[in-house]
Amino acid sequence: MPEMLDGKKTIQFRCHKGIACFNACCKSIDISLTPYDILRLKRRLGITSTEFLEHFTFPFEMEKDGIAGVKLKPVENGSACQFMTDEGCNVYEDRPSACRYYPVALLSMRRQDEYVDRDAYALVVEEHCLGHKEERSLTIDEYRKEQGLDEYDALSRGWRQLILKKKSSGPTIGKPSKRSLQLFFMTCYDVDRFRDFVASDAFNSIYDIPKSDLDRFLSDDVELMQFGFRFLRQVLFGEALGIAMRMDVVEERRRKVMDNRMRLEREAAELLSRTEEGEY
């Protein structure tokens, strides 16, 4: 168990281009991405989230039977980051949260009786990293500010809360269906596909979203991502978050599913009785 630190803890650390270990930390990566990291990187590279996921990431299971996370995929047949160059990080202004935090690690926790998560930190000291020997002291809060993490953390909070909620709810929520896991993955990580989903006739026939809100979500990735977190809390955890549904359409669909099931059962029974009568 790492020692838990709060933001006021002073650390000694400095990373800069002239340091002897420059790039060492990018040569062997294990970097989990947040939804906002993906949004920034796909925008930086001028590609869709679907393309970004395919070329630069791989999925992993955060916990058994649990929800998926996404990690940066290293170069082919190697462990280095695809964005590493001799000059340093090729996407520096849009580098992921984990790269910004290093050598600090963010630990998000939530008490069972609370919805709000609490942040704590740990210091990661690895032999190859000489930044700890540099003469500079600052608090973790100052370091986070310097690394632009206030914005990154604020925009990923909704996603962290979803994960904490899933972890702490345990068996009461049960094993999510394959469809729920796919919905979670698309909504959190593939914002461009989620946009198509929210814009679709099928979605709008069930959800009654005011036009001005819908236009805002469809024209702004960050707004859409945050709507996605709210949508998942309502759909996966049954929270009433004001995303109105057209109940008449939901009821009609439910009736059709029931009718269909009854028809299938009737056909199966008929087939069975004919088989017993030796018709086949």
Which stretches of the chain bind ligand SF4, using CB under 6 A? 15, 19, 21-26, 29, 31, 81, 83-84, 89, 91, 95-96, 99, 102, 128-131
Output 69 or 131, the one with its CB closest to ligand SF4: 131
User: Residue 252 CB, nearest distance to ligand SF4 (Å)?
Assistant: 48
User: Residue 38 CB, nearest distance to ligand SF4 (Å)?
Assistant: 12
d(CA 180, CA 236): 7
Measuring CA to CA, how many Å separate 271 from each of 124, 260, 261?
65, 16, 15
246: left (phi over 0), alpha (psi -120 to 50) or beta: beta
Return the sign of the alpha-carbon dihedral for residues 187, 190, 196, 200. Answer: negative
Output 19 or 105, the one with its CB closest to ligand SF4: 19
Q: Which of 70, 68, 61 is nearest to 41 (CA)?
A: 70
DSSP character at residue 2: P
d(CA 14, CA 103): 10
User: Residue 31 CB, nearest distance to ligand SF4 (Å)?
Assistant: 6
Output 41 or 224, the one with its CB closest to ligand SF4: 41
User: Residue 82 CB, nearest distance to ligand SF4 (Å)?
Assistant: 7
Question: Which pair of structure tokens corresponds to residue 204?
Answer: 């709008």
Q: Which of 156, 77, 88, 157 is nearest to 117 (CA)?
A: 157
DSSP character at residue 117: -
Output 122 or 130, the one with its CB closest to ligand SF4: 130
User: Residue 71 CB, nearest distance to ligand SF4 (Å)?
Assistant: 11
Determine the length of the chain. 280
Burial of 142 (0-12, 13-18, 19+ CB in 10 A): middle
Output 100 or 195, the one with its CB closest to ligand SF4: 100
User: Residue 94 CB, nearest distance to ligand SF4 (Å)?
Assistant: 9
Output 15 or 222, the one with its CB closest to ligand SF4: 15
Output 26 or 183, the one with its CB closest to ligand SF4: 26
User: Residue 62 CB, nearest distance to ligand SF4 (Å)?
Assistant: 20
Q: Which of 30, 35, 160, 36 is nearest to 108 (CA)?
A: 160
Output 31 or 191, the one with its CB closest to ligand SF4: 31
User: Residue 102 CB, nearest distance to ligand SF4 (Å)?
Assistant: 6
Q: Which of 200, 166, 185, 205 is nearest to 63 (CA)?
A: 166
